[in-house]
Every structure is written in structure tokens, then in C-alpha cells.
Amino acid sequence: MMAHPTDRSAVCAYGLLLCCDLILWVTLVTVLLWCKGTFILGLSSLWAFRALSWNLLNKVSSVLVDQSLQPLLKRWMTLLCFLPAVFDTLRTLVSGGVCGFSPVPEPAMVVLNAVSATLVYMVWEMAFPCNGSKRDAKKEKKEQEAKALLTRVIQYSRPDCFHLGAAFLFLILAALFESCIPYYVGKIIDVLSGEYQHGNFMWAIGLMSLYSLGSSLFTGLRGGMFMCSLSRLNRRIRHMLFQNLMKQEINFFEENKPGSLTSRLVSDTDKMGRSIAMNVNVLLRSLVKTCSMLVSMLSLSWQLTILTCIEMPLLALLQNHYNTHYQKTSRELQDCKAEIEQVASSAINAVKTVRSFRAEAQEQRRYEEALEKKLKVLTCKGINSAVYLLLRRVVSVSLKVAMLLLGRSLISSGQLTSGSLLAFVLFQKDMVTNMKHLVYVYGDILNTVWSAEKVFQLLDRKPKVTEAGVLVPQKLEGRVTFDNVSFSYPSRDGKALKSVSLELSPGKMTALVGPSGGGKSSCVCLLQRFYEPQEGEVLLDGVPLHHYQHQYMCSQIATVSQDPVLFSGSIKHNIEYGLHGCTIERVKEAAKKANIHDFICKLDQGYDTDVGEHGGHLSAGQKQCIAIARAFIRNPKILVLDEGTSKLDINTQVAVQEALSGSAGQTLLVVAHRLQTIEKADHIIYMEGGMVMEQGTHEQLMAKRGRYYHLREKLFILDSEQQN
């Protein structure tokens, strides 16, 4: 395990190497003094000296210091050795003249170099920790995962490379133009405070306005391009996510609440794209601006530039603490939001049930508790951010005061004009913000990328049902066989069906009867392939169901349930749901068979009448009629009525029965509690406890005097009592 930069052994190693470096500087100065000007330290000699120092320090560290500290020390030694050479080279390029280390190193600059190298090293280590340093293995793994997620988000942005390329170009132009503005503001002040020359004044104002206009134009274009690529990315991800959601097995929707799924689909996708795009935008803008400003500031005053650079590590330390807390609360907040959405949507969707059970107060309490939880997290987040802002302000103001004092003494010594000081102050303000963004925005990208994790989890999820086959037979007889089928729901331990074997014959009506929980609806679910049996097989014309193409299966099997789901939209839309290019005549014909046509005609807007959310504008019986029409219009080979006529009045039931008997060759499965409805069935199967107990015709079962007989007796007595 590697050491941490602040470990005691690491601090001792820094001290040792720092002493060695000082000895090297002292030796160099002694040699220079001894040569009395016959040898001076030019830029190339400075680079050579620092390269030699780096080599020597490395040797010392490899001999005297523990191996575990080597990766940490390498970074620091590199900064310590090469910062002076980089600094003097930049100064020579920008302003020429005397530098800090050549021709003779200034002692103050040597000390300043050690301090700034250590501060820069701290920032570097915090922003991009060295792989070798001792870190939480869990944290490291998470970071790797975050990087992988980020790469994936970037890959998804590939189709928008044109928009992104244009956005980056505008971003660079905007940043360059913006960083020129303070320089010309300073020039204007100098012209005004010195001997006034109108030409110079107009020239400076003209250039400043030009750069301001250019910066605004390119900023606008950059924003537009980023928004455009972001919206495209969002649309693509949401489309893919929804597509994959629709493929999932039914159990997935039972395990995941609708509120949290819609939250992934809506807010997480949005957040993912927005936060990453924003951060990349900020990262690049800050990078370009920081570089161009650093050059401008060095050209104005290197002393003030160094002072400015000290602010950064201090702010970085604060930010690092704040970020850790921010990540934690952000995650908590996200969970709270999902919970609030879930509580509200479940109560609103089931408002009738809530009201009928007088559970309004209970639902209000649940909602209030969820809100309270969110409020607590928000308060904690607020306090933390207030403390952070205060400390940040204190650091900034202290350094600003120091900078102004130093600026004043530079002006008195003639090294700076007041206009340049103003320009520097303007640069400095922007510079600190940009450097801070630069260092931390990368970390922030890794943090915000976690919203992408949840989206990708859903995107990658493979449905846990065997993929549908490709079988599309020309002719289907419609014989359904349950061959020794055993099944338990994924969310339950016990078996819902135990070795069930039964057959549904074409052109016949088969009825499933029995007490509640007997397994009747489970059989229907398996027939629709909502679930897969653990043992045995469900066969259609002797072929397992999963061999058939999904679309084909849906066109051959239609189900009407006790509480059919209608979608908000017209009656026509609900009847022809899932069919393409259906004529109104076919819709009317199906509605007539379901005995609902007359009712629809009486409505003001006829077939265009909106049924409301979940068909809320219709009665339960009318909803069932529309669902029956929806099944009839498909002319399915296999029709399943799972208590599908239970809410119809007697006239409608008769009409539907007639329509059903008119469809020759259709396999009809009826699940019913009211035994009168199935007395005419060709075959009756009695199920209890997930097993087939009895089967035969009504007469055969009555003659047997078994469970069917007793159930019928019970229901008969109950019916007579109700009538009396």
C-alpha cells in the first residue's frame, strides 16, 4: 500500500529533498560568485542545471526514501526542479529582461519556488490523485467506474460531433476575445490618467468594444450549439431507454415502481446530459481562458501573478472538503425526489381507492414525511454551502488586500501603471474562478456522471424472458397445451401452479373455475408469455410459445380482463389500439359485436369521444365492452376472457355470447367466478391451490358431486340469499 502525501514519512522525505535542493542552489550561487561573471546562468544553463538537480534528487530519494513514497515524490520533485526554468522562459518570452533565476538566482525566488511548487503539487494531488498514493480501494474503483461511464456518455455524443466541434470552436474564440477586454480597460485608464491623447483613447475604446462584441457573439453561438447537441443526445438516450423498457418482462415492472422508472426516464437522462455537457463546456472555456490570462498577467507583473497563484491551492482545499459533502447530499436528494414522486403518483393514480378507504390522511402523512426528509437534506446542504462560501470569501478578500498593497508599492517604484493594476485586478478576478473550475470541474464531471449510471443500468438490462422466436405459420389451428407446468412468481417463494396439464381445443369453449388464488389468472399470464414457467412447457399447436414471433403471437391471442386498461384518447383509438391502418368500418363492426355501438353513437363526438385517463369517463361495464371490441377487431385465433364479461349487464352478456359463438374455429378460454356463465362450456377445468382438481363437462362434474358441485351449491345458496 502506498503512502498519503500528508503522512509523516512523506513530510520528512519532502524536508530531506528540500534541503538537498537548497544545497544545490547554494553551490550554484557560490560557483557563479567565484567565476565573477565569466560564467552566467543563461536560460539553457538554467534548464540544464534543473535537469541535473532533478536527476540528483531522484537518486537521493531512491537511496534514502521508502519505495512507497516514490510515486508521490516524483511529481513534487518535477515541479520543484522545473518551475524556475518554466517561469524564466515564460518571462523572457513575454517581457524579456531580467528574470528571477537567471543570470543569478535571487534567494527570495528560490524560497518562493519551493512554496509555489508545494502548493501546485497539493492542488495537483487533490484534483488528480497519484495512482500510487494510499487511497480507499472502494473510492478508486468508483472513480474508475465513473471514468468508464464518462467515456460511454462521450461515445453516445458521437453523432453530434459536428455540433460539438462548432461549439468548441466558438468557445475558444469567445474565451480568447473575453480575455482581451481587461487589458484594454487598463489601457483606457492609463490614457485617461496620463497625458490625454484622443487617438489612443478612441483606439483603445474601439478595440475593447470589438472584443466585447466578438466575445458576446461567440458566447451566444457556443451556447446555442451546446444546447442543440445536448437536446439531440437527450432525445437519443430517452428513445433508447424507452425502447429497452418496453422489452422488459412484466416482473420488472412489478419490482420497479412507475414513479422511479419515469424519474429515470425524465429527470436522470436530462441531468446526465446537462451536467456533463455543462462541465465539459466549463472545463474547456476555463482552460483556454486560464492560459491566455496567465500570459497577459505575467506580461503585466510577475510578482502579482505569483501572489494570485497562491489563492488557488487554498480555495482548492476548501472546495475539496465541500465537494465530498456535496456529492453525498446530492445523492440523498436524488433519492428523496424519486420517493416524493413515487408517493404522489401512487396516491393520485389510485385516488378512488384512497378515498374509498378514507386513507387520505395516511397518504398525506406519507407525502409529508417524504417532504420532511427532503427538507432535512436541503437544510444540511444549505448550511454546508453557506460555511463554504464564507470561508472562500475570507481567503479571497485577504489575498486581494495583499495584492493591492503589493500593487501600490510596485506603482510607487514605477514598475506598474495604475491602468495595468486595474487590468490585473480584472484579470485576477476571472483567473481565480477559471483556475478553480479547471481543477475541480473534472472531479465534478466524475460526480455528476453518476446520474448516467442509473440510466445505463436500465439501458443495459436484458429482459429475463427467452427472446421471442421467428415462427410465423401460415395456418394456426389454435390448440393450446399446458404440459406439466409448474410456475412460481419471481417475487414469491411458493408455487402458483403445480404440475398443471390441460388442453384448450380449437372451436371449443374451455372454462377455468375455482376459488380465489387457485391459479386461473396465472395460467392466462403464462399463455400471454408475461412470465416463463420454471418447469414444463406451454405449447401452441405443439410448439413452445417462445418459438413464435412476438407480433404474430399478439395478433393470434387476445385477452379481455376484469379491469381492462384503456388509454387516454378516443374510443376509436382504444378499439384499434396496436393495429395500423384500421378502417372506421372495422372499428364499428367490432363495437357492434361487443354491443357498445349504440352507446357510442349517442355520444356527442361518437367514436372520437375521449375516454379520459385510464378510461375514467366510462363505467366499468362500458370499459369492458370496449376491451371486448378491441379483442374482436383482431379476430384472434385464441380469445381469453379473464372475468372479461363480469361487469356486463345481462343483455350485453347475451349479445357477446352470441358474437362469440359465431366465430367458428376460435379457441375460447373463459375464467369465471359466476358459474352460470360457463355452464354451456365444452370443457370445464376446476383449479385449486395451483393444481387441476377436476375436469369435464358441466353435467359430468355435477354428476361427480366433487369440488365443482360443492362450489356451485355454495354459490347457488349465496345467490338465493342475495335475491331474498
Ligand X SMILES: Nc1ncnc2c1ncn2[C@@H]1O[C@H](COP(=O)(O)OP(=O)(O)OP(=O)(O)O)[C@@H](O)[C@H]1O
Residues that bind ligand X (CB under 6 A): 254, 489, 491-492, 496, 514, 516-522
Least spacing, CB of residue 486 vs ligand X, in Å: 13
Among 700, 606, 572, residue whose Cα is nearest residue 708: 700
- Residue 692 CB, shortest distance to ligand X, in Å, is 12
Please give the grid coordinates belonging to residue 164. Answer: 460539438
Shorter beta-carbon distance to ligand X: residue 45 or 251? 251
- Least separation in angstroms between residue 373's CB and ligand X is 29
> Nearest approach, Cβ of 313 to ligand X (angstroms)?
58
Pairwise CA distance, residues 72 & 3, whole Å: 8
Give least dist CB 542 to ligand X, A.
25
Between residues 392 and 495, which has the closer beta carbon with respect to ligand X? 495
3-state secondary structure of 129: coil
Residue nearer to ligand X on the CB measure, 437 or 520: 520
Closest CB to ligand X among residues 388, 530 = 530
To the nearest whole angstrom, how small is the minimum distance from the Cβ of residue 492 to ligand X?
4
Residues 194, 200, 204: CA angle, nearest 5 degrees: 105
With residues binned 3-state (H G I as helix, E B as strand, rest as coil), the percentages for the chain, rounded to 5, are: 70, 10, 25
Distance of CA 216 to CAs 170, 177, 209, 210, Å? Answer: 10, 9, 10, 10
Considering the complex, what minimum distance in angstroms separates the CB of residue 255 from ligand X?
Answer: 10
Cβ(112)–Cβ(80) under 8 Å? no
| Nearer to ligand X (CB atom), residue 254 or residue 699 | 254
Collect all residues with Cβ–Cβ distance below 8 Å to 430 and sequence separation of at least 6.
Answer: 179, 182, 289, 293
Q: How many CA atoms lie within 13 A of 354 on its CB side?
A: 16
Return the beta strands (E) in 202-339 as ranges.
none
Closest to 485 measured CA to CA, from 493, 476, 496, 470: 496
Among 155, 282, 165, 149, smallest CA distance to 228 is for 165
Q: How far is the CB of 440 from ligand X (least distance, A)?
A: 48
Is 366 or 520 the residue whose CB approaches ligand X more closely? 520
The residue at minimum Cβ distance from ligand X is: 521
C-beta of 441 vs 496, nearer to ligand X: 496
Q: How many CA atoms lie within 13 A of 448 on its CB side?
A: 20
How far apart, in whole angstroms, are the C-alpha atoms of residue 84 and residue 538? 79
Beta carbon nearer to ligand X, 516 or 651: 516
Pick 407 or 519: Cβ nearer ligand X: 519
Q: How far is the CB of 267 from ligand X (least distance, A)?
A: 28
Element (H, E) at 94: helix 70-94
Sheet order of strands, 557-561 included: 557-561, 638-642, 667-671, 509-513, 683-688, 691-696
